[in-house]
Copies of this chain bind each other. A is one copy, B any other.
Amino acid sequence: MSRDLPALVEGAREGRVRAIARLISLVEDGAPEVPALMAELASTSGRSHTIGITGSPGVGKSTITSSLITALRSRGERIGVLAVDPSSPFSGGALLGDRIRMQQHATDEGVFIRSMASRGHLGGLAATTPQVLRVLDAAGCDAVLIETVGVGQSEVEVAAAADTTLVLVAPGMGDSIQAAKAGILEIGDIFVVNKADRDGADATVRELRNMIALGDAPDRGWKPPVIRTVASTGEGVDTLLAAIDDHQAWLVASGELASRRVRRARDEVEALAVAILRRRLEAGAGSERLTAAAEDVVTGRVDPHTAAARLVSEA
């Protein structure tokens, strides 16, 4: 398989879908070729703009994603889509209406769609997502949309992998409060009140603006706008795309893009370092050393901190 690597990379660079899919599978499986693959891709990284899309189930994430795909495609951009959400239509577990909306993109050669499982990878999503992004970047994607369900830890990790994070909220139902509780307000670069034709949209917009003004969102020199959309009709999608462009321009001009990417690479390398340490301690000679250390701790010959510090230094 590793003999195919240069051919696969070549194929991905030419935008061939099967080669791209194959490389992402290698990353997802934590295949032994991944380090060589990343080394191969290292020099071509950093061109595509990554856009995270998060929010509770039912808020309209996939409809917004679909609208953004259409809008970006009409500018001639190549698009990657990563769905880190088992209930996303991109992952197959979808309502019929959603699936039909996706069909139009599935046959578009300029759109690469991939659903990702959020578990079991070396270093977790914090390490896997940047690797997959590197593949899509090499494949010439101008933008990569990452759709995550706004529950649990995964959306925070995935937001950490995006240049621009959209937080979606629906009117009423205390959704913005839920978002605040779940800590996703802090990660939003742009807030989207979708289904803005519904009752309570004004109140939700006000609520979000208050939260932002009160500093619930951290001040980094960018004031997150609150955009209204009705994604099912396309209303507000142009405004949203303009806000995304504004944010990207700000990222570049302020130097924030460069520092975000270094911060992300720090997180990625740290997650990989932890995974590598665990792997070294769970197999072979490292595992024998760990068991010997554990036996010494049980019998009191050594304290656990000293044993652990020694294992780290020997790893």
Contacts and interface: CB of A to CB of B under 8 A. Distances in A.
Interface of A: 34-35, 38-46, 127, 130-131, 258, 261-266, 268-270, 272-278, 280-282, 290-291, 293-295, 297-298, 300-309, 311-313, 315
A311 B270 CA distance: 9
Contacts of A298: 45-46, 258, 261-262, 265
B265 A44 contact: no
6 contacts: A38-B305, A42-B300, A266-B294, A269-B307, A277-B277, A277-B312
A9 to B, nearest CB: 13
Secondary structure class of chain A's binding surface, majority of residues: helix
A82 to B, nearest CB: 18
Given A35-B306, A38-B303, A290-B269, A312 B315 contact: yes
Contact of A305 (B35, B290, B297, B311): B35
Contacts of A40: 303
Contact of A262 (B269, B277, B295, B311): B295
Nearest to A275: B308
Contacts of A44: 300
Nearest to A282: B270
Nearest to A44: B300
B270 A312 contact: no
A314 to B, nearest CB: 10
